[in-house]
Amino acid sequence: MAKKNAFYAQSGGVTAVINASACGLIETARMHKDKIGKVYAGRNGIIGALTEDLIDTSKDTAKAIAALRHTPSGAFGSCRFKMKSLEENKLQYERLIEVFKAHNIGYFFYNGGGDSADTCLKVSQLSEKMGYPIQAIHVPKTVDNDLPITDNCPGFGSVAKYIAVSTLEATFDVASMCKTSTKVFVLEVMGRHAGWIAAAGGLASTKDAEQPIVILFPEVTFNKEKFLARVDELVKKFGYCTVVVSEGVMSADGKFLADQGLKDAFGHAQLGGVAPVVANIVREGLGLKYHWGVADYLQRAARHIASKSDVDQAYAMGKAAVEFALKGHNSVMPTIDRVSNQPYKWKVGMAQLSKVANVEKMMPKNFITKDGFGITEKCREYLAPLIKGEDYPPYKDGLPQYVRLKNVAVPKKLDEFKL
């Protein structure tokens, strides 16, 4: 049987380490040229497959591919595009098969979060339903850390490190100014339904160096009176405090505090802007001077301060995806399985996509303090290893040196397809 080519694509919000997964995947595929032909990347995710907009990664040198390990964001372009079921949009699936056949693609690797796992699951079913052999492997990635089964998700450890450090530094800043100026700083972080990123802010306060930090989780219904009482308590004790608020915090009526009434490509509420809402609550309720900031893209693109654990795990997931495919696995996802906390040890595991797609992993109740504003020791034990270690990119003239691939297009063989 002639060896097949592979298709790889990146999906959803990018991270500081998604390219490390691409690096692990491409380098591993190149080590098995007897079994895998070329690796074609989809330009802008699954859209690249549907529109036959493919990138020939073989046109980039081994040095350039290796540099992906320390380069943030998505080297091939990402997208927010969730495919409907085969019954709802058969034309799209027929188009995928057409493109795969035209370019001799037998391996499908999709690097993303929950919605991407769903897409990958659907593609894995093409072999059975449409008579074309394709092995689909999902490569986990999401800063939200909300994929099930895997202990944690590549991308999360680095954003957690960024938020923990930023919370600590911002708290030092407001402590310096509180006597005559700002007393409350509000930091907005990502996290629609799960408060993993917000929880990382709690790492800034330790037993040896307590910091006045209030965390607002999506898992805990926002109570204005209790929140103001806690802020007031900390300001009276320390003279200042920092509030870390997840974008997905909800009020008692079930509405997002930051809901703008808009929807994204997946039909989710378009969030953003909860920090000024919370800051205004502090101003009206306590009359305190405040400042607020939104971490936004900065938190997920901060490769300069990436966690070494995260980089290593991201690379390992890309490598494992190829190895799984070569062993004949289909419709699976490599996972990170924690072996121990002290010392921190982990290994590569495997999950069935049917148990991953469309399932969100929330913060366990025993990770949040009883008052709802902090993290427990159990949570700290879970988070601490994920932010450990530094893996700095190379620097030149004070700036990190990131790679831009050639992204040479594969010649098209089919007619144009409109989404």
CA angle 379, 388, 77 (to 5 degrees): 95
Active site residue 253: no
CB of 368 closer than 8 Å to CB of 374: yes
Report the C-alpha gap between 348 and 140 in whole angstroms.
Answer: 12
Nearest to 15 by CA among 204, 218, 219, 162: 162
Alpha helices by DSSP H, 125-223: 126-130, 156-177, 196-200
- Give the separation between CA 182 and CA 290, rounded to whole angstroms: 5
Among 60, 115, 118, 144, which one carries the catalytic annotation? 144
**CA atoms within a 13 Å half-sphere pointing along the CA-CB vector of 266:** 18
Taking Cα atoms as reference points, which of 370, 314, 356, 289 lies closest to residue 118?
356
Which DSSP helix (H) or strand (E) runs through 92? helix 90-102
Could you tell me the strand order of the sheet in which 105-112 lies?
54-56, 36-42, 4-10, 105-112, 135-140, 332-340, 345-352
Phi–psi pair at 140, nearest 5 degrees: -65, 140
The residue with tokens 């070329």 is 38
Question: Which residue has 């699954």 as its token pair?
Answer: 46
Known catalytic residues are 144
